[in-house]
Amino acid sequence: MSVDTSAATARAETNSLVAKLWNYCTVLRDDGLSTIDYVEQLSYLLFLKIADEQYRNDLSDAPKRIVPENLDWPSLIAKQGEELERHYRHVLIELAKHPHTNLGTIFAKAQNKIADPAKLQKLAVDLIGKQEWAAAGVDIKGDAYEGLLAKGAEDIKTGAGQYFTPRALIDAMVEVTQPTPDETILDPACGTGGFLIAAHAYIAREYHNRMTKAQRERLSSGAIRGVELVAGTARLAAMNMLLHGVGASDGPSLIDVRDALAKQPTGNERVSLILANPPFGKKSSITVYGTDGRLDKEDISYDRTDFRSTTTNKQLNFVQHIMSALKVDGRAAVVLPDNVLFEGGAGEAIRRRLLKEFDVHTLLRLPTGIFYAGGVKANVLFFDKKPPRTDGQPWTSALWVYDFRVSQHFTLKTKPLRRAHLDDFVSAYLPGRPRTERVETDRFRPFTLDELLKRDKVNLDITWLKDPALDDADSLLPPGVIAREIVDDLQAALQEFAAIGEALGEPVPDDTLA
pLDDT tens column, 197-222: 999 999 999 998 899 999 998 988 88
Amino acid at 191: G
DSSP 8-state code for residue 422: G
Query: Does pLDDT of 67 surpass 90?
Result: no
Residue 57: is it exposed, middle or buried by C-beta count within 10 angstroms (0-12/13-18/19+)?
exposed
pLDDT tens column, 400-441: 999 999 988 888 777 889 999 999 999 999 999 999 999 999
138-147, 209-218, 431-440, 501-510: which is most confident: 431-440
17 in Cβ contact with 131 (< 8 Å): yes
Residues 6+ apart with CB under 8 A from 488: 368, 369, 374, 375, 376
pLDDT tens column, 13-63: 777 777 777 777 777 777 777 777 888 888 889 889 888 888 888 888 888
Task: Say if residue 164 is in the same domain as residue 101.
Answer: no
Q: Which letter, b or e, does each residue of 157-177 get, where b requires 16 or more Cβ atoms within 10 Å of its Cβ?
A: ebbbbbbbbbbbbbbbbbbbb
Q: Is residue 128 domain-resident?
A: yes
Task: Say if residue 44 is in the same domain as residue 193.
Answer: no
CATH number (domain holding residue 369): 3.40.50.150
Partners of 187 in beta bridges? 226
pLDDT tens column, 100-128: 888 888 898 899 988 899 999 988 988 88
Q: Is residue 248 domain-resident?
A: yes
Q: Domain boundary residue among 143, 172, 193?
A: 143
Domain that holds residue 117: 3-143
Task: Say if residue 260 is in the same domain as residue 352.
Answer: yes
Rounded Cα gap, residues 243 and 238, in angstroms: 9
Amino acid at 200: H
- Domain count for the chain, please give it: 2
Q: Is residue 287 domain-resident?
A: no
List, edge to edge, every strand of the sheet that includes 286-289: 295-296, 286-289, 300-303
CA atoms within 13 A of residue 441's CA, in its CB half-sphere = 13
Strand pairing class (444-448; 271-276): unpaired
Task: Say if residue 119 is in the same domain as residue 233.
Answer: no
The pLDDT of residue 247 is 84
The pLDDT of residue 340 is 94
Lowest mean pLDDT across 70-74, 87-91, 370-374? 370-374
Q: Domain boundary residue among 143, 164, 183?
A: 143
Task: Say if residue 367 is in the same domain as residue 438.
Answer: yes
Q: Domain boundary residue among 123, 143, 163?
A: 143
Partners of 271 in beta bridges? 326
168 in Cβ contact with 422 (< 8 Å): yes
Rounded Cα gap, residues 250 and 234, in angstroms: 16
CATH number (domain holding residue 16): 1.20.1260.30
Q: Is residue 8 domain-resident?
A: yes
Q: Is residue 481 domain-resident?
A: no
Task: Say if residue 69 is in the same domain as residue 17.
Answer: yes
Task: Say if residue 50 is in the same domain as residue 191.
Answer: no
358 in Cβ contact with 308 (< 8 Å): no
438 in Cβ contact with 446 (< 8 Å): yes
Of 132 and 198, more confident: 198
Partners of 101 in beta bridges? 252
Lowest mean pLDDT across 208-217, 361-370, 432-441, 465-474? 465-474
The pLDDT of residue 46 is 84
Task: Say if residue 162 is in the same domain as residue 237.
Answer: yes
Q: Is residue 488 domain-resident?
A: no
The pLDDT of residue 282 is 44
The H-or-E segment that residue 81 falls in is: helix 81-95
Number of H helices, E strands in the chain: 18, 12
Rounded Cα gap, residues 221 and 69, in angstroms: 25
Q: Where are the alpha helices (DSSP H) in 188-345?
A: 194-206, 213-219, 231-243, 314-325, 338-342
Q: Is residue 312 domain-resident?
A: no
307 in Cβ contact with 262 (< 8 Å): no
Rounded Cα gap, residues 373 and 412, in angstroms: 10
Of 180 and 8, more confident: 180
Residue 327: pLDDT band (50, 70, 90) is very high
Q: Is residue 300 domain-resident?
A: no
Task: Say if residue 134 is in the same domain as residue 155.
Answer: no
pLDDT tens column, 242-265: 878 888 877 888 999 999 999 899
Amino acid at 173: M
Strand extents, DSSP E, 277-325: 286-289, 295-296, 300-303
Query: Does pLDDT of 490 surpass 80?
Result: no
Average per-residue pLDDT in the chain? 83
Q: Which is nearest to 217 in space by CA: 243, 192, 257, 182?
A: 182
Task: Say if residue 44 is in the same domain as residue 109.
Answer: yes
Task: Say if residue 168 is in the same domain as residue 263.
Answer: yes
Task: Say if residue 452 is in the same domain as residue 335.
Answer: yes
Query: Does pLDDT of 284 surpass 50?
Result: no
Average pLDDT of the residues in 143-167: 66
Rounded Cα gap, residues 91 and 75, in angstroms: 9
64 in Cβ contact with 75 (< 8 Å): no
Query: Does pLDDT of 501 surpass 50?
Result: yes
The pLDDT of residue 474 is 45
59 in Cβ contact with 95 (< 8 Å): no
